[in-house]
Amino acid sequence: MAGLGYSSKLNPTWDFLAHLRDIGRESAGRWLEANFDRLGVHSSLDIDGEFPDGALPASRPAWPDRARDALRLVRPGTRVA
């Protein structure tokens, strides 16, 4: 994804989306080839390396008011913090 230009973020064509799907499948296949025997045995994430000094990520930020309002319109009665 890093090699894609900014315009790719606005490209909704089927061919481009299929290309992204194919890239994702190839990447997942490589990851599975390298890590399949470790599934359920070893973590693939180094928590200590990602968050040194025991600093864990903060909880997700509060949704902007517009997003809350939109969710209420789509799902009436939904409680959103």
Residues 36-71: tens digit of each pLDDT: 888 888 887 787 787 777 666 666 555 556 665 666
Q: Is the pTM of this model over 0.85?
A: no
In a domain, 57, yes or no: no
User: Which residues form the domain of 9?
Assistant: 1-44
What is the SS3 assignment for 44-74? Answer: CCCHHHHCHHHCCCCCCCCCCHHHHHHHHHH
In a domain, 19, yes or no: yes
User: CB under 8 Å to 63, separation ≥6 — which residues?
Assistant: 71, 80, 81
Residues 3-36: tens digit of each pLDDT: 788 888 888 899 999 999 999 999 999 989 998 8
Query: How many domains would you assign to the chain?
Result: 1
